[in-house]
Structure 1
Amino acid sequence: MKLRLFLFAVLLSAASSAAAQCLLCAQDAAAVSARKVETPLRVDVETRLDMGRIAVGAMGGEVAIDPASGARQLRGDVVDLGGFALSGTVTVRGEPGAEVRVILPASIDLESGHGRTARVTGLVTDLSAAPRLGPDGRLRFRFGGRLQVAARDDGDYRGRIPVTVEYQ
């Protein structure tokens, strides 16, 4: 049984986690001019997460992609059928030097054309604990995860991974 997996990342950008305030209501004009205007975040998917091609046996199994190296690890009753396995790559642009927060879901379900599902869990990035945009206003990161496939559940599974990026 063949299984071809593609995961598409859909990235949602939140302008800021800080509450917006009415600048027209400010009492002090100096306070208004001293406030820094944040550049809106722009998020681009450079590479989609791809688990590659595998065959799934009677016991089912798991495919894991390491975000830093893109290396694929197989567990359980799965066989590598080749193809490229890739970690996802995302570029964020915004206010130079700003600290950001990247939020990934706990899990997502993928669907095949035949109505079957497979679950991706353990989505992780290669980011540090407190990521910041660089002096050029850019941050590039990779993400990976674990795909759990039930016994003999072949198909071409696809899904979208919602990723939220916001200023801290």
Structure 2
Amino acid sequence: MKLRLFLGFALAFGAAPSAGAQCLLCTQDKAAGTTARKAEVPLRVEVETQLDMGRVAVGAMGGEVELDPASGARRVRGDVVDLGGFALTGTVTVRGEPGAGVRVILPASVDLESGHGRTARVTSLVTDLSAAPRLGADGRLIFRFGGRLQIAGLDDGDYRGRIPVTVEYE
């Protein structure tokens, strides 16, 4: 069995710097029956650490690499061998109105591309947030997230992509 090298990659996150301000512009339509909450402080979203699945070798059958946001543990499944290196969960800091409830939205999946035109998919993006996250008394919330990278057997290279992180006031 010949293994191909899949180099580590980092995901860059496209987060709206003031996602709350964007939502305030959209709240003029209240036909959905929800009352918009006017926040005094706009939300700011900053990526502190980019998601990095580390280095793995992939066999002909392919497999997946999963990174748990709560523990930071990396698990490989299928025809994948962990080659070490640092795997890092993504870390995001949100700043806004102290004590306010927020909603964090991540996409269901994101396609990554290598420099050779091949693709890999990240699915099951999850955070370590509680069910009803709130900004702290200092107006700050820090959370981590991870996901599952699905790799086909012939896809080697350095994969990159953008994961949109949307944060809104509740």
Query: TM-score, normalized by length of structure 2?
Result: 0.86
What corresponds to 1:25 in structure 2?
A: none
Identify the match of residue 158 of structure 2 among 156, 159, 168. Answer: 156
Identify the match of residue 15 of structure 1 among 10, 20, 30. Answer: 20
Summarize the alignment of residues 116-135 of structure 1 with structure 2, pairs less than 5 Å apart: 116-135=118-137
Identify the match of residue 46 of structure 2 among 23, 44, 56. Answer: 44
Summarize the alignment of residues 1-168 of structure 1 with structure 2, pairs less than 5 Å apart: 1-4=4-7, 5-12=9-16, 13-15=18-20, 17=23, 19-20=27-28, 37-168=39-170
> The residue matched to 1:2 in structure 2 has which SS?
strand
Higher radius of gyration, 1 or 2: 1
How much does 1:9 deviate? 1.6
Take 1:138 and 1:146, find their aligned partners in 2: how far apart are those partners? 27
> The residue matched to 1:15 in structure 2 has which SS?
helix
Higher strand fraction (1 or 2): 1
Q: Deviations over 1:118-139 (max 9, x none)?
A: 0000000000011000000000
Query: TM-score, normalized by length of structure 1?
Result: 0.87
Q: Deviations over 1:101-144 (max 9, x none)?
A: 00000000000000000000000000001100000000000000
- The number of residues matched between the two structures is 155
Q: What are structure 2's unaligned runs of at least 5 residues?
A: 30-36
Q: What are structure 1's unaligned runs of at least 5 residues?
A: 22-34
Q: Deviations over 1:62-101 (max 9, x none)?
A: 0000001111000000111111001000000000000000
Q: 1:165 to 1:36 in 2, by over 3 A?
A: closer
Percent of paired sites with the same residue: 76
